[in-house]
Chains A and B, each alone.
Chain A
Amino acid sequence: MNTIIFRTAAPLIVATMLVFSFYVCLRGHNEPGGGFIGGLIAAASIAVFGMAAGVPEVRRALKVDPMAIAGFGVVLAGFSGLLSLLTQSPYMTSIWLYLELGNTTVPLSTPLFFDLGVYFVVFGTLSAIALALESDREEDL
């Protein structure tokens, strides 16, 4: 698995997959996609990167522990529902905000942040598992 072709191509593949995963996550509200699938794609990219570059390299590139990313996701998803309490409505009532930016309208909403939370949980958890499995040395777990 450690061919030079794979190692050279891996960063490109990984970068593309990561961008694509984010795209899939964002478009999920109207077209096939969403945080869950996006997270799976991103985790797969990390697994591929781990195979190509080795686990320590991936951990350096990630900067934070993947499990922390997952924890952040749960917190983000949970907190996205709290905003609605400010408007006297029940927990997790969605709030929409349409930002006019020149010619385009950018819809921002609390479900969007919720979906990003899902993305981070799936991404973080599966990356953590994949990296832990890939690493051979115990101290790297």
Chain B
Amino acid sequence: MGLSLDASIALVPIAPFVAALLAPLVHRLAGPVTGWVLALVPAALFVLLLVNFVAPMTHGETLALAIGWVPSHGLDLAFYVDGLSLIFALTILGVGTLVILYAGAYLAGHHHLGRFLGFMLAFMGAMLGLVLSDNMIGLFMFWELTSITSFLLIGFDHSRQAARRGAIQALVLTNIGGMCLLAGAVVAHQLSGTWLLSELRGMEDLVRQSALYGLVLALFLGAAFTKSAQFPLHFWLPNAMEAPTPVSAFLHSATMVQAGVYLLSRMTPVLGGTEVWTGLLVTFGALTLIWGGLGALKQTDLKQILAQTTIASLGLLVLLIGLGSTAAIAAVVVYFVAHAFYKAALFMVAGAVDHEAGTREITALGGLADKMPVTFIGAALAALSMIGLPLTVGYFAKEEMYLGLVSGEWSAFLVLAVLVLGNALLAGVGLLVMTRPFLGDELPTPKKPHEAPVAMLAGPIVLGGLGFLAGILPDWFGHDVLVPGASAILGQAVESHLSLAINLASPLLWLSILTWLLGVVVFRQATRIRGALRRFDAALGWSADKVFDVCYFALVRFAGAVTRFLHHGNLEYYLVVVFLALGIALFWPLVSLGGLDWITPTAELGDWSQRLVLPDLLPYEWAVLLLAVVGLLAVLIASSRLIAILSLGVQGTALALIFLLFGAPDLAFTQLMVEILSVIILTIVMTNLRLDARDHRPFEDWARDGTLAIVCGAGVSLLLMLVLTGTLDTRLSDFFTQTSVPIAHGANIVNVILVDYRGFDTLGEISVVMGAGIAILALLRRRKGSVATPPVEAGRGGEKGQEV
């Protein structure tokens, strides 16, 4: 196990991101074979993992790698490979390769194929990072990345309102989960002092016995349940079917939605095994399983049917994790793999049917087996695994999950009943999906159906075939998949007992047969059940989906009301509020901290004469002061706007001269330029309005504004005077004077501070200047359109930009 092998773990999540960046370029160069080229990336990573990591994992070894990330906070980008993460990573890469290939053909000729495949690869990288991360902050980061990339993928067809809605809904819900995950990670860190999941798993009872166990559990369950679409948060998943089919085949079968299942499996040694854990997971899992199974029967759209069965399968997995027995965990691993195989394949079949026949409505399809024989074979292979017939991996999954429950206890019996019913529903739907579009009478379809291209057939055939291969080779499957995965979840060695032998005396076989029989009943009565369910829905009147909409739009309206309250659009009131706040901020400390004591008259009135001495200034300095005062008065009494603006310029120039005379040439320079530009810009702005007479303003306006101006001016003056009475702390300026030339090679301290000592601040400031500029341009663009946005506001903003 050399260094290179360890380092290659980091390559696995990073390489897809790099490929994602290059995808648009590849699309331009490779054209129609883009899918084939880009599929090489996950394929190569798949082979890398298969060759290098599978053998060590089957011996129960683990690998870890930490790259320094934020060393000052002790954070590493830590990766960790054990059986569980390897199974997930291999599934992601294997299905990912086939899906990229499939997408290349499905969206062939699409203008944005490169962008689409880029999103897909970025999602793949995020997902790989998620399952390989050992650091909880890293896990959170990749978790959020999957949310963001899936948002981009679901909303890929962004000109459709439904796609945008589905994307936003998925983003909102999975982000709520993401926030839960972050909070949970922080609390877990506070309890344990480590960010690493592998170390956390070592401290088994620490979290379980702490007083905060309930909180940690709730936060992690919040994360897992939103991501894995558990009832009642399941509704985002069917809406996410607005995405192009390759997205559904990838995200909603083996990856994105399984992130929650992964998280729960990971946290089983830390949080699992308590009554609360089992109770919550089994209850919600069971509800989700039945709800999804019934939901599937309600639908007639192939993709919607599959989405609902995914919800059911996720519920099933959560339920099994909740049970937590060895057999249940073994069933989790087997079922996860089986589900990934058949669900991805079936989604691809649904896409192929839609692509070639022009519709996905199950009632409008029939007899396609003649026209699309290979697609039918793929569909049949996958669906048989979904039904769980012997010789498929789905069969083992079902056996394993029943195994732990034939104990005779009534609670176990109840769970068993739920499982049998759920599996029967899934089996019925599987039969439906396999037979309805392909067998029976041929129905007219919008397009003339023909076989899909090779790239679109590879997925269903390979995945369906793998489902059978794993079903025929139980020893290999048990040894290489079940044992490492289940051992990693439970933290102890697990034995595999998968076998092809059929034991007629075993209750498991009869439970399976019962499941199949019920499945056939469901299949036969599908139309009747659909009608009943739809009547029930209509009677109920509303769904979780509608609740989401109500909350969502209530929030938007609330935000709108708050914004309208704060941003009423009246410039006069904005300014009054700003200056009022300034006045209070100035006088509050002055009064409360005794800053005015020195000026209040005391018994010795004689002191006043000494305090009121005239400053010792040269004649021309007096002249400059006079200029400032005259400029100010001229502003107040000016009869036209142009004169007022120019007088303001005079006053500002006088100020610049004062700076110059008292040794601040840089400040003077800047002040002068700002004054000139202010005058120019204000004049330009006012040219568009009126430069002649001023508006008449009522007396109360004058009084209010005048008072505010005097209060603020007096406040600033008093504060400055107060500052000057104390001794100036010159440590900083001494430091800059001494070091400016030797360290920073510059004699102009002001400039050296700006570009060197405090360069990072300046970088922020110039970014703000540019941002303000863009905002002003946007405001100006609106000028012609709306009378309510006078350009004066923009002019003010411009001044603000300059003074930053």
Which residues of A are interface residues toward B (Cβ below 8 A)?
24, 28-37, 40-41, 43-44, 47-48, 51, 67, 70-71, 73-74, 77-78, 81, 91-92, 94, 96, 107, 109, 111, 114-115, 117-118, 121-122, 124-126, 128-130, 132-134, 136, 138, 141
Contact = CB atoms under 8 A, between A and B. Distances in A.
Contact of B747 (A29, A121, A122): A29
A30 B770 contact: no
B677 A33 contact: no
A128 B677 CA distance: 13
Given A29-B748, A130-B681, A122 B769 contact: yes
Given A73-B766, A121-B770, A129-B798, A34 B681 contact: no
Interface string B640-665: 00000000000000000000000001
Interface stretch (B232-240, B710-718, B756-764): B756-764
B719 to A, nearest CB: 26
Contacts of A78: 763
Interface of B: 665-666, 669-670, 673-674, 676-677, 680-681, 684-685, 688, 744-748, 750-752, 754-756, 759-760, 762-763, 766-767, 769-770, 772-774, 776-777, 780-781, 783-784, 791, 794-795, 798, 801-802
Contacts of A37: 666, 669-670, 673
Given A47-B677, A133-B684, A96 B773 contact: no
19 contacts: A31-B748, A32-B666, A34-B750, A37-B669, A41-B673, A73-B770, A78-B763, A92-B760, A109-B745, A114-B756, A118-B755, A121-B766, A124-B770, A126-B773, A129-B801, A130-B680, A134-B684, A136-B688, A141-B780
Contacts of B673: 37, 40-41, 44
A94 B744 contact: yes
A124 to B, nearest CB: 8
Q: Nearest 8 pairs between A and B by C-beta?
A: A125-B773, A40-B673, A29-B746, A121-B766, A32-B665, A30-B747, A34-B751, A111-B755
A15 B561 CA distance: 51
B192 to A, nearest CB: 32
B746 to A, nearest CB: 4
B567 to A, nearest CB: 22
Contacts of A92: 759-760, 763
Given A114-B756, A130-B681, 5 more contacts: A36-B754, A44-B676, A47-B677, A133-B795, A138-B781
Nearest to B668: A32
Nearest to B682: A133
Q: Could you say which of B744, B759, B791, B801 has the most chain A C-beta atoms within 10 Å of its C-beta?
A: B759
Which residue among B665, B762, B766, B795 has the maximum number of chain A CB atoms within 10 Å of its CB? Answer: B766
B95 to A, nearest CB: 39
B378 to A, nearest CB: 50
Contacts of A126: 677, 773, 798, 801-802
A70 B770 contact: yes
Contact of B791 (A41, A74, A122, A133): A133
A132 B780 contact: yes
Given A44-B673, A133-B791, A67 B685 contact: no
B748 A34 contact: yes
Contacts of A111: 744, 746, 752, 755-756, 759
Contact of A125 (B750, B772, B794): B772
Contacts of B783: 138
A43 B773 CA distance: 13
A124 B685 CA distance: 19
A132 B777 CA distance: 7
A30 to B, nearest CB: 4
Contacts of A115: 751, 754-755
Contacts of A107: 745
B680 A47 contact: yes
Given A32-B665, A67-B777, A121 B769 contact: yes
A67 B773 contact: yes
A121 B763 CA distance: 10
B681 A47 contact: yes
A128 to B, nearest CB: 6
A44 B748 contact: no
B755 A114 contact: yes
Given A44-B680, A126-B802, A133-B684, A138 B744 contact: no
Nearest to B784: A138
Contacts of A33: 666, 669, 748, 751
Contacts of B756: 94, 111, 114
Contacts of A43: 677
Contacts of A125: 769-770, 772-773, 801
Nearest to B677: A44
Nearest to A80: B759
A116 to B, nearest CB: 10
A81 B773 contact: no
Nearest to B759: A92
A76 B684 CA distance: 31
A136 B685 CA distance: 11
Contacts of B780: 129, 132-133, 141
A26 B670 CA distance: 15
A115 to B, nearest CB: 5
B802 A29 contact: no
A92 B762 CA distance: 12
Contact of B763 (A32, A77, A128, A129): A77
A129 B681 contact: yes
A141 B669 contact: no
Nearest to B674: A40
B230 to A, nearest CB: 44
Nearest to A117: B766
Nearest to A118: B766
Contacts of A73: 766, 770
Contacts of A24: 669
A13 B302 CA distance: 73
Nearest to B743: A94
Contacts of B784: 138
Contacts of A141: 777, 780-781
A47 B745 CA distance: 34
B685 A133 contact: yes
A1 to B, nearest CB: 9
Contacts of A32: 665-666, 669, 748
A82 B750 CA distance: 23
A83 to B, nearest CB: 13
A74 B771 CA distance: 11
Contacts of A128: 773, 777
A29 B677 contact: no
B745 A96 contact: yes
A74 B770 contact: yes
Contacts of B774: 67
Q: Which of B676, B684, B751, B801 has the most CB of A within 10 A?
A: B751
